[in-house]
Structure 1
Amino acid sequence: MCRWLAYSGSPVRLDELLYRPANSLVLQSKHARLGAETTNGDGFGVGWYGNVPTPGLFLSTEPAWNDRNLREIAAQLESGHVFAHIRASTGSAVQKTNCHPFRHGRWLWMHNGLIAGFPAVRRELTLAVDPLLFPEIQGSTDSEILFYLAVTFGLEADPVAAVARTVGLVEEVGRRHSVVNPIQMTVATTDGETTWAFRYSSEARSRSLFHSVDLSTLRHQYPDNPALHVLSDDARLVVSEPLGDLRGAWREVPESTCIVVHGGREELRPFTPVAPATAAADGVR
Structure 2
Amino acid sequence: MCRLVGYLGRESIYLEHLVSKTTHSLTVQSYQPQEMTAGLLNADGFGIGWYAPAQPPFFYKNTLPIWNDINLLHLGRYIKSNCILANIRSATPGQSLDLANCQPFSHRDVIGVHNGYIEDFHRSLYRPLRSLLKDEYYQNISGNTDSEHILALFFQNLIHNSGSMVLALQETLAAVIDLCHKYSVNASLNLIVSDGKQLVASRCASRTPIPSLYWLRSVDSMLIASEPLFEHSDWISLAGNTILAIAPDFSPSFIDL
TM-score where L is the length of structure 2: 0.93
Match of 1:162 in 2: 168
Q: 2:125 aligns with which of 121, 125, 146?
A: 121
Asked whether the equivalents of residues 66 and 88 of structure 2 are also in contact (C-alpha less than 8 Å), the reply is: yes
- Identity value in percent: 29
Q: What one-letter code is carried by the residue in structure 2 that aligns with 1:51?
A: P
Match of 1:276 in 2: none
Q: Which amino acid aligns with 2:43?
A: G
Deviations 1:174-211 (A, max 9, x none): 332232xx320210000000000000111143100101
Cα distance in 2 for residues equivalent to 1:263 and 1:127: 34
Question: Deviations 1:212-270 (Å, cap 9, x if unpaired)?
Answer: 132xxxxxxxxxxxxxxxxxx40210000001123x23111111111111234232323
Q: Which position in structure 2 is the counterpart of 1:56?
A: 58
* Corresponding letter in the other structure for 1:168: A
Residue 193 of structure 2 is matched in structure 1 by: 189
Equivalent positions of 1:221-236 (< 5 A) are 233-236=219-222
User: Who is 1:35 aligned against?
Assistant: 36
Amino acid in structure 2 at the alignment position of 1:235: S
C-alpha distance in 1 between matches for 2:187 and 2:212:
15
Q: Is 1:269 matched up with 2:254? A: yes
The equivalent residue for 1:111 is: 114
Shift of residue 158 of structure 1? 1.6
Structure 1 stretch 192-201 or stretch 170-179: which is displaced more?
Answer: 170-179
Q: Taking structure 1 as reference, are residues 61 and 86 closer, same or farther at Cα in structure 2, changes over 3 Å only?
A: same
**For 1:63-121, what per-residue CA distance to the aligned partner results, in whole angstroms no more than 9, with x for missing partners?**
00110111111111111111111000113111111111101110001000011231222
Aligned alpha-carbon RMSD (Å): 1.5
Alignment-mate amino acid for residue 205 of structure 1: P
Alpha carbons 1:198, 1:258 under 8 Å: kept: yes
User: Which of 258, 261, 264 pairs up with 2:243?
Assistant: 258
Instruction: Map Cα deviations across residues 109-146 of structure 1 (whole Å, 9 max, x no partner).
Output: 10000112312220111121111222211111001100
The structure 2 residue matched to 1:138, chosen from 130, 135, 142, is 142
C-alpha spacing 1:171/1:16, structure 2 compared with 1 (3 Å): closer
CA distance, structure 2, for counterparts of residue 32 and residue 213 of structure 1? 22
Q: CA deviation at 1:160?
A: 2.0
- The answer to whether residue 97 in structure 2 is matched with residue 94 in structure 1 is yes
- Structure 1 counterpart of 2:19: 18
Query: In structure 2, how many angstroms separate the alpha carbons of the residues matched to 1:87 and 1:242?
Result: 17
* Structure 1 position 53, deviation (Å): 2.8
- What does the per-residue CA deviation read over 1:8-45, in whole Å, with 9 as the maximum and x for residues that have no partner? 11111111221111111111111011123331000000
Bigger shift: residues 183-192 or 111-120: 111-120
TM-score by length of 1: 0.84
Letter paired with 1:249: D
Can you give the 5+ residue segments of structure 1 that lack an aligned partner in the other structure?
215-232, 273-285
In 2, the alpha carbon distance for the partners of 1:176 and 1:256 equals 19
Structure 2, unaligned runs of 5 or more: none
Equivalent residues of 1:117, 1:174 under 8 A apart: no
Q: Does the 8 A contact of 2:51 with 2:81 survive in 1?
A: yes
**Aligned position for 1:71:** 73
